[in-house]
Amino acid sequence: MEFFKVSAEELVATVTFSRPPANALSSAVLKEFSTLLDELENDDNVRVILLHGEGKFFSAGADIKEFTTIGEKEQATQLALLGQQVMEKIEQFPKPVIAAIHGAALGGGLELAMGCHIRIVAENAKLGLPELQLGLIPGFAGTQRLTRYVGFSKAAEMMWTSEPITGVEAVQWGLANKAVPEEQLFEEALTLARKIAQKSPISVRATVELLNAAKSKPFHEAVQYEAELFGQVFVSEDGREGVQAFIEKRPAQFRGK
């Protein structure tokens, strides 16, 4: 890996975005991250992914220098589609992906963070979509995810003014789960990741599918799907183990089967 560093401990893979100075997202970065996700999905020793940025930023945005090499509409469209595909891959990923955001998550950086399932932010972090400042628009599904998280009017304000919000405001607006002092950020996110990693991989995978079903399916179809997955999880080894452990008043030992 050229742009990411990976370490794994206690069923949590810590993925560090390392492309100084701004951790900018280029097409090469997007492709590498997609490949990394494939590897982590197939690693049974990884149940949760914690994503954070090295240096001053989570990610300050897309690679503007790469923009200068794009001369045709089709090239720009393909870049946007690549970014959208990777962000959707994160959101659909069967293992929880937690973003620990410090410094700045701007433009493509915020779009990357919004693809993750959970966002823990530093109180003084800056989150925004400033593309209109460049005469552009968000292209990695940012217009759609931001609207889904904060609502039409606040999304419009953030995009039209190009002004970022703080980590504290991100929590207030529904864009992030929790804001903490920056010096506590990584440990806070890691503690959450470890807590989730102790759950059954089968039940976690099922809830990821159902959370995404709430986005894409009509209610009556989604609840039918919930019932089907409930049945599958119920008869799994982990399902039996969890119920038995509760009865015996002991910690469950989930094996992902």
At 102-141, the pLDDT tens digits run: 999 999 999 999 999 999 999 999 999 999 999 999 999 9
pLDDT tens digits, one per residue of 175-198 = 999 999 999 999 999 999 999 999
Query: Which helix (H) or strand (E) segment is 166 a member of?
Result: strand 165-166
**65 shares its domain with 145:** yes
Residues 243 and 205 grouped into a single domain: yes
Residue 254 lies in a domain: no
| Distinct helix (H) and strand (E) counts, the chain | 11, 9
Q: Which contiguous run of DSSP H or E holds residue 74?
A: helix 73-91
Q: What is the mean pLDDT of the chain?
A: 96
For β-strands 104-106 and 126-128, DSSP reports them as parallel
Q: Residue 1 pLDDT > 90, yes or no? A: no
Instruction: Give the pLDDT score at 256.
Output: 86
Give the predicted TM-score (pTM) of the model.
0.95
Environment class of residue 15 by beta-carbon count within 10 Å: exposed (0-12), middle (13-18) or buried (19+)? buried
| CA angle centred on 196, ends 193 and 199, rounded to 5° | 150
Greater pLDDT, 146 or 1: 146
- 62 shares a domain with 102: yes
Catalytic positions are 111, 131
Greater confidence, 16 or 215? 16
Number of domains in the chain: 2
- 53 and 125 both lie in a single domain: yes
Answer whether residue 256 is part of any domain. Answer: no
Could you tell me the CATH number of the domain that includes residue 76?
3.90.226.10
**Which residues form the domain of 61?**
4-197
Residues 128 and 169 in one domain: yes
User: Are residue 183 and residue 83 in the same domain, yes or no?
Assistant: yes
Percent of the chain with pLDDT over 90: 92
User: Do 14 and 29 lie in a common domain?
Assistant: yes
